[in-house]
Structure 1
Amino acid sequence: MQPTTAPIAATIRTHLACDIDELRTLFLFEHLSDEQLLWLCGHGHVEFIEPGVLYREGDPATDFYVMLSGSVALYRRVGADDVEVARTGQVGVYAGAWAAYLGDRVPQTYSQTLRVLEPSRYYVLAAADFAAFMNDWFPMAVHLLEGLFFGQQSSQAAIGQRERLLALGSLSAGLTHELNNPAAAATRATATLRERVAGMRHKLAMIASGPYDRDQLAQIIHLQEKAVAALKRARAADGKRTALEVSDLEDELADWMTDHGISGGWELASAFVAADLGTAWLDMVAAYVGDEVLEGAVRWLSYTLETESLMNEVEDATARISSLVGAAKQYSQIGRAPDQTVDVHELLDSTITMLERQLGDGITVVRAYDRSLPPIHVFAAELNQVWTNLIDNAAQAMDGHGTLTLTTRRVDDWLEVEVADTGPGIPDAVVGRIFEPFFTTKPVGSGTGLGLDISWRIVVGKHHGDLSVTSEPGDTRFRVRLPYTSTEGPTP
């Protein structure tokens, strides 16, 4: 297939006489009667056509053409290019408004661009006349063709819907699991928080009736604010300590509390370690409040820190839930127009979020994004289905261990998305068949063989883009190209 971006000159056409004996030699018309052939010559005509474009893809389909002599090439529009898909000199080949008999149930436009390669002759019949003679002369054949045409469309739609439902079931299970974890964490944290707040109310009552003077209370409140600020800084720094390091720090703090007459110090120490507050800070507390109220002050500060930590847990859990719901909404495109101008990185990120459970901890995701890429006009929900198929296939190929790399770049007037994995690769013997419907390399029962076929139809058929693959052991790359300058935009 050879692409061309150069404009092709239109043809020069000359009307000629129609000969029924010549029409009778064509395989399309060889069984027609003289009366029918006369009708064809009376309603149609013969044209002599110089090299050039006979018609262009997307233009209204006004005529049905049968080649009497010469040669032609057919092109399909892919982005800004016309890609040659066929070339022939066979007498009797036909093209143009062949679907006119289906009427307004299908778009009556040319599905390809036809280029005449050498001086040629064509029998030409207007689309309305072609529809009339098909329906009048071959009503049974028309009904059979209609059944075949629309039956295939219905089958493809049903199969596509089934594939989407299978993917949705898998994603829903993963999403439910992902939502349950933060929801359970928030529930546990809330229950513990209720206990701690009750304990703080009890401590507050003790403080109110205890030996604290006005200055000591002011100092405790001041220390409380400093402790909360320290916890906030430690949370922002997100310094990861090993379990052994945490245990050593807790033991050190517990020993300090025992030395200062504070019982049960091991229960209080973890709150101070989480805020990165050590014995030096507790020495400052002792200097501020005095020995007579030190234990009450330390316990109050520990309760304050633990309460703040529990509120952080609730915040993290609810933020995770909100993030998952947002990703699900972005992924499904609920409440949004079918075609829209979007940032492709948002679509990729939402898909990764939805597939986190399938990816697991053993797969490292690398995002090599070119964030400067401009938005693109696409069917967002359907592209998310493409990303799902490609990423899920990559995860299964790597069997839970490897690196998944998502790369975005601009190539001329294309936006290119590359999904690469470090799996074993696709065997050379089958790599040319992977986009065929029902073809799969997965074990029986593990795949329908439709994921890549559906992806091809979404990328190439609906977006006038391109989907390709290169593979070798340890490096398989699927590349999706979407046109920025498509003259038609996405096709419903």
Structure 2
Amino acid sequence: MTTPAPITLADLARIAAFAELPTATLQWLADHGERRTFAPNEVVLQPGDEAEFMVALLRGSLQFYLMRNGNREPAFRIEAGQISGVLPYSRLRIIQAQGVAVGETETFLLHRNLFPELEQVSPELVQHLVGLMSDRARQEARIQERDDKLRALGKLSAGLAHELNNPAAAIMRATENLATLLQAKPALLLEFVRHCPSPEVLQALAGLATGPVAAVPPTQSALARADAEDELADWLETQGIPDGYQLAGGLLDAGLTLSQLEPVVADLPEPARPAALNWLEGQLTTRRLVLDVQEAGSRITTLVANVKTYSHMDRGSNFAPLDVHDGLESTLNIMSYCLREEKISVVRDYAPTLPPVRGQVSSLNQVWTNLLDNAIDALPPGGEITVRTRQEGDFVRVFIIDNGPGIPPEVLPRIMEPFYTTKPAGEGTGLGLDIALRIVEQHGGRLEVQSVPGRTEFGVWLPVIGRN
């Protein structure tokens, strides 16, 4: 940083917001502000710095970057003639982005302590600067909403890939086993019928093969299961099957017992018994694998339906009657991978019935996502989140409760202020709760928070349809 030259009225006139100001106002700005000059690539503002100055660019550019997960991401740029930094009535206290000079850069700085005096000197300029601040806040809110959606999409993609991998892998394993079993079936059937069993015996065996098959093996203790498997394997070996253990597990998993098998097999010609039992076990295992494929396919269908509900893909952007539980469930399912990764348990305490509310699915799901994200961030591994719903008069209430350390009393009154964050610089913009609050208010509701150590509760009020 070089030694600054005095500010001139011509310098200030190059700032768009100052261009039509009276000479007396420009002179006051020149007398109370200061010039600073920066070399190319010099850091002008650093995340975590106290936000003290209004910054007007006399020459050059300032590129701002957000620091996320140790990476520097471009955010926005201001050019010569534009204003950034703190503006009158701004709540910004801590710099959130890194500002870097692009080329030789000169700035005009005015300390925020001088804003009350500036309002006396030029209320018109202060009003104009407040308008700029409002425009900037709206722009930053839009950017934050976009970034939140992109981050949610990133989490959704990672979680969805993980969730889809399990049922997809189950389908692959099942189809590989099915291919092996189906290839062996014709030879076993030929070997079986070669011994000309009677139609009655065939019917009895077919009855075992087509009876109910449990999707999950019958529940037994480990000791009882081992005893049953030993007994059945020994009996299978007496029927001419060299290694009875190869079939015993599959027959037991299908729910068959020795008492069911013995009378049917006793009527079979002895040479046909190995082929018949192998065919029976293969038939039952095939049916169980088909159930596995159906269950895995159903899981994939459910995941796709959750994504569809979460992202609101099948509806327009208009308000419509909504079931709050559907939105909560789709959001929890989408976030299930993140919850499991952090070993966080979820307790659902839902009202048995709730009237519909009128709203936008995607917007309300963003509220649930923001509140659950905050709870996850606040909790150590092994924490607990309770999602509770109740009807209170003409409102549906949704509570997101965590048993984390709580919000400090000095922070609680400001927790929903825009740009206020307790996270380290670069890790949070302070707009998540502000966005959630605005969405809830757009739905005619309100968002409240209560917190003590061991319990933080965010409560959302949403009016039911038909409320006057």
Deviation at 1:356, TM superposition (A): 0.6
Q: Which residue of 1 aligns with 2:352?
A: 371
Q: How far apart, CA to CA, are the structure 2 residues paired with 1:372 and 1:466?
A: 21
Question: Matches of residues 85-164 of structure 1 in structure 2 within 5 Å?
Answer: 147-164=132-149
Q: Which residue of 2 aligns with 1:194?
A: 179
Secondary structure of 2:419's counterpart equals: coil
Matched, 1:179 2:164: yes
Q: How far apart, CA to CA, are the structure 1 residues paired with 2:408 and 2:374?
A: 15
| Counterpart among 411, 420, 424 of residue 430 in structure 1 | 411
Q: TM-score, normalised by structure 2?
A: 0.67
Deviation at 1:211, TM superposition (A): 4.0
Q: How far apart, CA to CA, are the structure 2 residues paired with 1:391 and 1:145?
A: 33
Q: Which residue of 1 aligns with 2:229?
A: 250
Q: How far apart, CA to CA, are the structure 2 residues paired with 1:429 and 1:294?
A: 80
Secondary structure of 1:477's counterpart equals: strand
| Counterpart among 217, 223, 248 of residue 269 in structure 1 | 248
Q: Which residue of 1 aligns with 2:110?
A: none
Assess, with a 3 A threshold, how the Cα gap between structure 1 residues 378 and 404 changes in structure 2: closer, same or farther.
Answer: same
Q: Which residue of 1 aligns with 2:332?
A: 352
Q: Which residue of 1 aligns with 2:284?
A: 305
Deviation at 1:475, TM superposition (A): 2.0
Q: Which residue of 2 aligns with 1:476?
A: 456
Deviation at 1:398, TM superposition (A): 2.7
Deviation per CA, 1:445-465: give whole Å up to 9, x if none: 5544332121111112x1231
Assess, with a 3 A threshold, how the Cα gap between structure 1 residues 441 and 171 changes in structure 2: closer, same or farther.
Answer: farther
Q: Which residue of 2 aligns with 1:84?
A: none
Contact 1:359–1:400 (CA under 8 A) maintained in structure 2 = no
Give the AA of the match of 1:286: V
| Counterpart among 323, 347, 350 of residue 302 in structure 2 | 323
Deviation at 1:376, TM superposition (A): 0.8
Deviation at 1:302, TM superposition (A): 0.5
Deviation at 1:364, TM superposition (A): 2.9
Q: How far apart, CA to CA, are the structure 1 residues paired with 2:464 and 2:198?
A: 73
Q: Which residue of 2 aligns with 1:294?
A: 273
Contact 1:402–1:423 (CA under 8 A) maintained in structure 2 = yes
Assess, with a 3 A threshold, how the Cα gap between structure 1 residues 193 and 448 changes in structure 2: closer, same or farther.
Answer: farther
Deviation at 1:218, TM superposition (A): 2.6
Q: Which residue of 2 aligns with 1:464?
A: 444
Deviation at 1:149, TM superposition (A): 4.0
Q: Which residue of 1 aligns with 2:25?
A: none
Q: How far apart, CA to CA, are the structure 1 residues paired with 2:224 and 2:380?
A: 35
Give the AA of the match of 1:402: G
Q: How far apart, CA to CA, are the structure 1 residues paired with 2:273 and 2:358?
A: 66
| Counterpart among 204, 210, 215 of residue 200 in structure 2 | 215
Contact 2:189–2:275 (CA under 8 A) maintained in structure 1 = no
Deviation at 1:467, TM superposition (A): 0.9
Give the AA of the match of 2:258: T
Deviation per CA, 1:85-125: give whole Å up to 9, x if none: xxxxxxxxxxxxxxxxxxxxxxxxxxxxxxxxxxxxxxxxx
Deviation per CA, 1:248-306: give whole Å up to 9, x if none: 43233212212333222111112122122222222233234353422222111100111
Q: Taking every aligned residue pair, what percent have the same amino acid on both sides?
A: 40
Matched, 1:204 2:183: no
Q: How far apart, CA to CA, are the structure 1 residues paired with 2:465 and 2:276?
A: 69
Q: Unpaired segments of 5 or more residues in structure 2? A: 1-21, 23-122
Q: Which moved more, 1:192-201 or 1:346-355?
A: 192-201
Deviation per CA, 1:148-193: give whole Å up to 9, x if none: 5434322221122112211221122111111121112111211111
Deviation per CA, 1:450-485: give whole Å up to 9, x if none: 32121111112x123111111223322110011236
Contact 1:268–1:299 (CA under 8 A) maintained in structure 2 = yes
Contact 1:422–1:475 (CA under 8 A) maintained in structure 2 = yes
Deviation per CA, 1:393-419: give whole Å up to 9, x if none: 223333331332211111122110011
Give the AA of the match of 1:332: S
Matched, 1:333 2:312: yes
Deviation per CA, 1:401-446: give whole Å up to 9, x if none: 1332211111122110011122222222322222123333445555
Q: Which residue of 2 aligns with 1:382?
A: 363
Deviation per CA, 1:21-40: give whole Å up to 9, x if none: xxxxxxxxxx9xxxxxxxxx
Assess, with a 3 A threshold, how the Cα gap between structure 1 residues 264 and 439 changes in structure 2: closer, same or farther.
Answer: farther
Q: How far apart, CA to CA, are the structure 1 residues paired with 2:407 and 2:221?
A: 41
Q: How far apart, CA to CA, are the structure 1 residues paired with 2:235 and 2:386?
A: 50
Deviation at 1:205, TM superposition (A): 2.5
Q: Which residue of 1 aligns with 2:17?
A: none
Give the AA of the match of 1:175: L
Assess, with a 3 A threshold, how the Cα gap between structure 1 residues 211 and 313 changes in structure 2: closer, same or farther.
Answer: same
Contact 2:383–2:404 (CA under 8 A) maintained in structure 1 = yes
Contact 1:413–1:483 (CA under 8 A) maintained in structure 2 = yes
Matched, 1:224 2:205: no
Assess, with a 3 A threshold, how the Cα gap between structure 1 residues 280 and 163 changes in structure 2: closer, same or farther.
Answer: same
Give the AA of the match of 1:198: Q
Contact 2:402–2:456 (CA under 8 A) maintained in structure 1 = yes
Q: How far apart, CA to CA, are the structure 2 residues paired with 1:211 and 1:176?
A: 52
Give the AA of the match of 2:452: E
Q: How far apart, CA to CA, are the structure 1 residues paired with 2:194 and 2:265?
A: 21
Q: How far apart, CA to CA, are the structure 2 residues paired with 1:283 and 1:434?
A: 72
Q: How far apart, CA to CA, are the structure 1 residues paired with 2:458 and 2:137?
A: 28
Assess, with a 3 A threshold, how the Cα gap between structure 1 residues 175 and 152 changes in structure 2: closer, same or farther.
Answer: same
Q: How far apart, CA to CA, are the structure 2 residues paired with 1:477 and 1:418?
A: 6
Q: Which residue of 2 aligns with 1:284?
A: 263
Q: Unpaired segments of 5 or more residues in structure 1? A: 1-30, 32-137
Q: Which residue of 2 aligns with 1:400?
A: 381
Deviation at 1:386, TM superposition (A): 0.8
Contact 1:271–1:302 (CA under 8 A) maintained in structure 2 = yes
Q: CA RMSD in A?
A: 2.8
Secondary structure of 2:384's counterpart equals: strand
